[in-house]
Amino acid sequence: MNTIPELLSETVAKHKNRIAIVEEGKKVSYPELQSMVNSLSSYLTSLGIKPGDRVAILLPNSIEFIVGFFSTVNIGAISVPVNPTYGEEEIRFYISHSMAKLILTEERLSKTVDKLKGPESKVVVVKGGERGLSIFGKERENGLRVSINPHDEAIYLYSTGSTGKPKRVSRTHLNIIALANNHTETIGWSEEDRILLSIPMSHTYGFGNFISAIKAGACIYTVEGFNRRKIIDLIEKERITVFPAVPFMLEALANTPFPRPTDFSSLKFVISAGAPLSKETFERFFKRFHIPPRQLYGSTETGVIAINLSKDIENRFGSVGQPVKNVEVKIFREDGSQADIGEIGEIAVKSPSMTTGYHGLPEETQRSFRNGYYFTGDLGKIDEDGYIYIVGRKKLFINISGNKVDPQEVENVISRHPKVREVAVVGVKGSDEKEAVKAVIVPKEKIEAGEIYEFCRGKISDFKIPRIIEFREKLPKSPTGKVLREKLR
């Protein structure tokens, strides 16, 4: 098994009687999933989609997202998942940068997408509206005999950096197969598992869990967005076994005053990734729901890197764990030599599931991909038992509850406001250690913070809009004119 269509067909052959996806009570078995994929694949072929073409999947977590992804790669095209909660300018960037020939989306977004896409892109509504799932209704076998090389590109994901724009990361079929194998073999998922996916499948963390669940023949419960009571109901009633989350979700669940005791006894794994898990959140969640959150470490460039499966989790909760199978992690000093045990340096990863570089960015690629390793930009250490601890970062980005924000991207938007002379954006930590986006603005004339919020709304995702806005007469700068960001916090 070396390609994604083979991964799906092997699972279908092994688990003919099992349910693959449940969404709002609607169930899709593995054979039904295959049939829907065949149908949409041939429909895409009839629309002229050929191997190597890019297909944007602008959909929330849903049956349609999963069918859309497999249908695209089934005909040798490249899938480009895009989070539908993004702002219009962001969606336009992803569609245009990936040169998407076709966009799979939902009815409520179709007018927006029509406005944002180029004249050469087609839009197909697969969720909601008159057609919706009917596209998947009739199985058409024509056009499905496509030869796929395991080294062909399968998916484009975008990584946040400090370049002002997201960086395109390409992963091949073989990369994704390796990711699913490494993940499932390390954690030990099986067809008995029921995985609740509320984190977006259009991002690397959600995507990794989704593809690994399919590899294991498990059942995926798709949820759009984060609703605390819906999550609790599903875990209890559907006897969910795996719940991947970000720390903010765990904190919200642990802090919510539910009127009755909750039963989380079915859960085997609560996984926390995307941002550091604080001691307070770990303890509150563990105390309230009697299951410890376990940290996972991954990146868009590599997929899953490590997970904390320690039996002594109460003392080791702060670690992101040991590398998953077939993945190597090393810590390097500034001079390029390898750090000793316990010594802090930059975390570097070698993995069969990693990309080889950033599209069109040779300098960034050269900086981050060296000697077969991806240099993550995270600072960390490894203890004598091989457990990895992340202690900081080298890269200039802000982490908002697992969402990465490039300050330059936010500065680019705010600086277009006619009353703004200059702006600098930084991350600030509150007393709870969580980061928030702060904008320091030098105005040309009198301006209120509300005008900045309003200006940003819709242009960028809501989590990127500065929560703190400060007006100053000038920005602190070095003699060479560089903004001294440390003095803005």
Partner 1 sequence: MKEDIRERVKRVLREKFTDSTKQLEIKDDTPLFGIGVGVDSVATLEFVIALEHEFQISIDEGEIKPEILATVDTISEFIATHVLKKSG
Tell me how far, at minimum, the Cβ of 132 lies from partner 1, in Å.
22
Give me 399's structure tokens. Answer: 């982490």
Asked whether the beta carbons of 28 and 36 are under 8 A apart, the reply is: yes
Q: Give the residue carrying structure tokens 């954690």.
A: 187
Q: Does 467 bind partner 1 (CB under 8 A)?
A: yes
Sign of CA dihedral 73, 45, 61, 395: positive
Among 89, 226, 262, 350, the residue binding partner 1 under the rule CB under 8 A is 226
Q: Does 465 bind partner 1 (CB under 8 A)?
A: yes
Phi, psi values for residue 360, rounded to 5°: 70, 15
Distance CA 485, CA 489 (A): 7
Helices 279-289, 247-255: inter-axial angle, 10-degree rounding: 50
Distances (CA, A) of 154 to 49, 69, 85, 150: 14, 10, 23, 9
Distance CA 107, CA 349 (A): 41
Asked whether the beta carbons of 97 and 75 are under 8 A apart, the reply is: no
Q: Does 96 bind partner 1 (CB under 8 A)?
A: no
Tell me how far, at minimum, the Cβ of 267 lies from partner 1, in Å.
22
Burial of 48 (0-12, 13-18, 19+ CB in 10 A): exposed
Reduce the DSSP state of residue 59 to 3 states and report it: coil
Nearest to partner 1 of 43, 455 (CB atom): 455
- Neighbour tally for 17: CB within 10 Å: 8
Q: Which amino acid is at 255?
A: N
- Neighbour tally for 126: CB within 10 Å: 27
Tell me how far, at minimum, the Cβ of 162 lies from partner 1, in Å.
21
Q: Near partner 1 by CB under 8 A, which window of 63-71, 165-173, 459-467, 481-489?
A: 459-467
Nearest to partner 1 of 264, 453 (CB atom): 453
Scan residues 347-406 and list those touching partner 1 (CB under 8 A). Answer: 400-401
Q: Does 223 bind partner 1 (CB under 8 A)?
A: no
Q: Does 488 bind partner 1 (CB under 8 A)?
A: no
Q: Does 164 bind partner 1 (CB under 8 A)?
A: no
Nearest to partner 1 of 142, 431 (CB atom): 431
End-to-end CA distance of the chain: 51
Distance CA 137, CA 21 (A): 16
Q: Near partner 1 by CB under 8 A, which window of 126-134, 156-164, 449-457, 476-484?
A: 449-457
Q: Near partner 1 by CB under 8 A, which window of 290-298, 328-336, 360-368, 448-456?
A: 448-456
Q: Which amino acid is at 427?
A: G
Scan residues 231-250 and list those touching partner 1 (CB under 8 A). Answer: 248
Nearest to partner 1 of 100, 223 (CB atom): 223
Binding footprint of partner 1, residue count (CB under 8 A): 26
Query: Which residue in 373, 301, 363, 297 sits closest to 331, CA to CA?
Result: 373
Q: Does 463 bind partner 1 (CB under 8 A)?
A: yes
Nearest to partner 1 of 360, 458 (CB atom): 458
Tell me how far, at minimum, the Cβ of 472 lies from partner 1, in Å.
14
Reduce the DSSP state of residue 147 to 3 states and report it: coil
Tell me how far, at minimum, the Cβ of 450 lies from partner 1, in Å.
3
Write down the H helix ranges in 75-227. 88-97, 107-116, 173-187, 204-216
Tell me how far, at minimum, the Cβ of 207 lies from partner 1, in Å.
21
Nearest to partner 1 of 332, 463 (CB atom): 463
Among 261, 450, 479, 481, the residue binding partner 1 under the rule CB under 8 A is 450
- String marking each residue 249-268 x if it binds partner 1 according to CB under 8 A: ---x--xxxxx---------
Nearest to partner 1 of 124, 426 (CB atom): 426
Tell me how far, at minimum, the Cβ of 402 lies from partner 1, in Å.
10
Asked whether the beta carbons of 425 and 410 are under 8 A apart, the reply is: yes
User: Radius of gyration (Cα) for the chain, nearest Å?
Assistant: 23
Polymer length in residues for the chain = 489
Tell me how far, at minimum, the Cβ of 232 lies from partner 1, in Å.
11
Q: Near partner 1 by CB under 8 A, which window of 59-67, 113-121, 192-200, 222-230?
A: 222-230
Nearest to partner 1 of 122, 419 (CB atom): 419
Asked whether the beta carbons of 171 and 158 are under 8 A apart, the reply is: no
Query: Which residue in 129, 172, 177 sits closest to 152, CA to CA?
Result: 172
Nearest to partner 1 of 387, 463 (CB atom): 463
Tell me how far, at minimum, the Cβ of 253 lies from partner 1, in Å.
10
Q: DSSP code of 421?
A: E
Q: Near partner 1 by CB under 8 A, which window of 105-113, 117-125, 219-227, 375-383?
A: 219-227
Scan residues 18-57 and list those touching partner 1 (CB under 8 A). Answer: none
Report the interface residues with partner 1, using CB under 8 A.
225-229, 248, 252, 255-259, 400-401, 448-450, 453-454, 457, 462-463, 465, 467-469
